[in-house]
A and B are shown apart, each in its own frame.
Chain A
Amino acid sequence: MNIFVEGIKEGVNLIWQMDPEIIQITLLSLQVSLTALVISAVIGIPTGAALALKKIPGKRIFLNIIYTLMGLPPVLAGLLVYLLLTYRGPLGQFELLFTPSAMVFAQVLLAAPIVCGLTARAVMALNQDVYDTAATLGASRRQASATIMREARIGIVAALTTAFGRVIAEVGAVMLVGGNIRWSTRVLTTSIVLETRMGNFSTAIAIGIILLTLSFIINLLILKLEKRTLRYDNTIQIT
């Protein structure tokens, strides 16, 4: 119990003192995970929408693969990226291994299937009425598709928050492809592992608290953004 209290105290101290290394680690964590999230959104949202709306041969199998990849073990994602980026690998010439770019690459591999799969489900959960109403009011295919996405936006935001949660908390893949190099590829999660291994449990807990706080703030911002687009309360009233 003492360790937790010490950890919390140290966490507050680290934040209060604005330790330059902690700030760098925190900013790198944010940079890597947010970049991965944006890339995953750019890939995953249109792909998920297309899978839900278009008649594509082998769609079910493709969806099944996406759903399976949603549970891809981070270490395996890291290994795949490692093999691609290693000196002798197909992308070795770009010398990306042990750089933040490699970490982004690995995190995209984890987040894109989540964004894609959950977007597809959110769109598929909508009723035919959405398209029919838009079409009978004279919407073009593009306009009707935009309306469908607008109607599915709660589900899409859920996809984004889930994907962000996955990548910000992920350690296996970034450890493998980033290497946890000080001032270069060390992020919050890999720092926790390092501090734990060194027996600095309270520091590990302190970094964990920073990680959780960061995640809380980002999710709060995403939900605020969602609320701005949802002017009305969508809560089911249970009395």
Chain B
Amino acid sequence: MTTQFKLHNIVKRYGSRKVLDIDQLDLREGRIYTIMGPNGSGKSTLLRIMSLLLVNDEGELEVLSEKVNWEKEQLLYLRRQMSMVTQTAFMFQGSVDYNVAYGLKARKMRSRMIRERVNEMLEMVGMSAYREADARTLSGGERQKVALARAMAVNPGVLFLDEPTSNIDMASAAEIEKHIRTINQEQGTSIILVTHNLFQARRLADEVIFIHEGRIIERGSAGSIFDDPKDKRTLAFLHGEAVIQ
């Protein structure tokens, strides 16, 4: 399995505040990684840097075997092999169809192929009946499904998920989880998931990365992190979250 992401001494600051300080992080293809940690620990910042939406202040970033130079052409090439679903599942003004077709149109695919792919994706998430619906009138769960279909339509090698089920009910969350697993297992898409949900992380993750105050303090298989955390901060977080959940 090849390494898709290599982070070396990555630092990100907001003003004088250091929000991310990653010594070393390698992520391999085809796996499901879960990034966990308390609010403000730098999880989303890490995800935004890896998805090339945010420029790191220091350090070296290697994505899909390319050292990132943040040049326009390289960014487009790399971004077209990844996609993302966020907590808010932002929808463009327009129909569900317009939204799911967006990435395909950006790649200038033929309209017949776009139509077929949109059909396929909406069928996958069980939203075919909503094709012509206004995307902004959908419920939270429906939006997440459409966002997932939209992200998967472009057939990405890597899928970033930033708390994709935190705003939706358990039944919808379970359905999204099922799709995430299918995407990973059947299409071999690497998944990098930020979540607060311990049970979700345990159910999905091949590997858990625990972040605290911008630093990786623990990393390992879901079983080892949840059953036998080595760091007391991980233990405290897991205990606190488990009590709440």
Contacts and interface: CB of A to CB of B under 8 A. Distances in A.
Contact of B94 (A129, A136, A231): A231
B49 to A, nearest CB: 13
Contacts of A140: 76, 106
Interface in B130-171: 134, 136-137, 150-151, 154, 160
Interface string B86-109: 101010111100000011001100
B208 interface: no
Contacts of B80: 138
Contacts of B51: 136
A231 B95 CA distance: 9
A136 B95 contact: no
B102 A137 contact: yes
A151 B92 contact: yes
Contacts of A151: 92-93
- Chain A interface extent, by class: 20 to 34
A137 B154 contact: yes
Interface string A190-232: 0000000000000000000000000000000000000000111
A133 interface: yes
B53 A132 contact: yes
Given A136-B82, A137-B154, A138-B154, A129 B93 contact: no
B79 A135 contact: yes
Contact of A139 (B86, B106, B134, B137): B106
A239 to B, nearest CB: 16
A133 B92 contact: yes
B102 A134 contact: yes
Nearest to B108: A143
Interface string A133-157: 1111111110100010011000000
B83 A138 contact: yes
Given A129-B88, A143-B106, A138 B79 contact: yes
B217 to A, nearest CB: 28
- Chain B interface extent, by class: 20 to 34
A137 B76 CA distance: 10
Contact of B90 (A127, A141, A232): A127
B192 interface: no
A130 interface: yes
A146 B160 CA distance: 24
A134 to B, nearest CB: 7
A136 B88 contact: no
A147 B93 CA distance: 10
Nearest to A139: B106
A136 B92 contact: no
Contacts of A141: 72, 76
Contact of A136 (B53, B93, B134, B136): B53
B78 to A, nearest CB: 10
- Enumerate the 9 nearest inter-chain pairs by beta-carbon distance, A residue then B residue, closest first: A137-B103, A129-B90, A136-B84, A232-B134, A138-B80, A139-B106, A133-B90, A138-B106, A138-B103
Interface of B: 51-53, 72, 76, 79-80, 82-84, 86, 88, 90, 92-95, 102-103, 106-107, 134, 136-137, 150-151, 154, 160
Interface of A: 127, 129-130, 132-141, 143, 147, 150-151, 230-232, 234
